[in-house]
Amino acid sequence: MRILHTSDWHLGRSFHREDLLSAQAAYVDHLVATVRDERVDCVLVSGDVYDRALPGVDAVRLANEALERLAERTRVVLIAGNHDSARRLGFGAGLMDASGVHLRTDPERVGEPVLVEGVAIYGIPYLEPELVRADWNLPDRGHPAALGEAMRRVRADLAGRPGTRSVVLAHAFVTGGEPSDSERDISVGGAAHVPASVFDGVDYAALGHLHGRQRITERVRYSGSPLAYSFSEADHLKGSWLIDLRPDGSLGEEFVEAPVPRPLARLRGRLDDLLESPRHDRLTGHWLQVTITDPNRPTSAMERLRRRFPHTLALSFEPDAPDGAAGSRTFAERVRERSHLDIAGDFVAEVTGTPASEAESALLHEAFEAFRRKEALR
């Protein structure tokens, strides 16, 4: 059986105000052509079909077109990600099953597989821990407990299907994965990372959430997003995993590259050098993030840059430290890899002059939890 593992389409997302819908439509064309040319038995979409819970009409139209075209050629299994509204994405799931498009957005159905060519495919949508903890009577908070229970239900069903090969779709942050700047933080509400061992016993785990393609283990992988959604992804190779589940239990693999609407690059240096040095000639057609390091802020920097690099999208000013002085970190560097709760605590300390008290920290935590629950129910 041959599957095509994709994820994180984020239909409707822009890139520094650049409309990406035409690039996303080109990706759909590429996806359909790959299914046709490679004789794919099933396309997996491991969450974040849309970029937000209430997607724009153009994004919905493109998703509808993509699923219609894929359904003419293959089966599709699709789960909700943390950007999707599970209820909206799952509308009509029962009716769509008959067409060969299988939407799995309800946590209660994680133990019900889609059977394709004798393979049991289990869709585990993004699980907000606090929303399933009570219903599932979880002993702990956080993503390891929620995903662990989902996989317990998967294994319970598999136990009644001896000799059946299995595939799991999940949307989560698995330990060892490398994030980028464009994933939404899921750390509030307990531990965010889950161990790869949670997927032990299945033939392949098709992951979504992280935007770079990655092998966590041979059988646990991220496909990454089909397009770059932040400059931190400038060096990513975008595309999908083409996986063969062989009769002897081994995997065949190929990474199918997706079309690139425009390459990305990051430039840093003094403005005059950026404008005059011939070594930057190759970047005139790239989308650029530029950091200027002149001691004093140059005038009309963006206008001057765009005369040479017309696709400059982001500009920041970080003057070089004086000789002998220690350079200071930027705000982005200071908050990277910190949770929203930690950043909010820093804000309280900055405003009041003292760290947040235990009661204030609890109140902040409660506010973030309430917001996340509200977003998950949209």
Look at residue 210 and tell me if it is in a domain: yes
- Total number of domains in the chain: 3
Chunked into runs of 10 residues, the chain (378 residues) has average pLDDT values of 98 96 98 98 98 97 98 98 95 95 97 97 95 92 94 97 97 91 68 89 97 96 97 96 95 97 96 96 97 95 97 95 53 59 74 74 74 61
Q: Are residues 93 and 187 in the same domain?
A: yes
Amino acid at site 333:
E
CATH number of the domain residue 239 falls in: 3.60.21.10
Are 359 and 344 within one domain? yes
Residues 74, 200, single domain; the answer is yes
Using CA atoms, how far apart are residues 60 and 19, in angstroms rounded to an integer?
A: 15
What pLDDT, on a 0 to 100 scale, did the predictor assign at position 333?
55
CA R_g for the chain = 23
Give me the half-sphere count of Cα atoms (radius 13 Å) on the Cβ side of residue 241. Answer: 27
Dump pLDDT digits (tens) for 321-359. 665 454 455 555 555 556 677 777 777 766 675 777 877
Same-domain pairing of 230 and 347: no
202: closest CA among 165, 162, 257, 176? 165
Q: Which pLDDT does position 339 carry in this prediction?
A: 67
> pLDDT value at position 181?
85
Interatomic CA distance for residues 292 and 279, integer angstroms: 17
Q: Considering the domain boundaries, does residue 177 fall inside one?
A: yes
- 215-220 — which CB contacts under 8 Å span 24+ positions? 216/174, 216/175, 216/176, 216/177, 218/251, 219/251, 220/174, 220/196
Q: What is the pLDDT of residue 149?
A: 97
210 and 292 inside one domain: no
pLDDT of residue 324: 46
Q: Which residues contact 36 (CB under 8 A, 6 or more apart)?
A: 73
Neighbours of 221 (CB within 10 A): 24
Structural domain for 338, as ranges: 334-376
Tell me the C-alpha distance between 227 and 30, whole Å.
12
Which helix (H) or strand (E) segment holds residue 129: the answer is helix 129-136
CA dist 374 and 367 (Å) reads 11
Is there a single domain that holds both residue 161 and residue 138?
yes
Q: In terms of Cα–Cα distance, which of 280, 265, 267 is closest to 232?
A: 265
Using the 3D structure, point to which of 226, 257, 288 is the last residue of a domain. Answer: 257
pLDDT, residue 373, reads: 61
Do 120 and 113 contact (CB within 8 A), yes or no?
Answer: yes
- DSSP helix/strand/coil, 315: strand
Does one domain contain both 180 and 294? Answer: no
pLDDT at 184: 79
Q: Are residues 235 and 271 in the same domain?
A: no
Note whether 197 and 340 are same-domain residues. no
- Count of H helices and E strands in the chain? 11, 19
Domain membership flag for residue 328: no
Domain assignment of residue 142, yes or no: yes
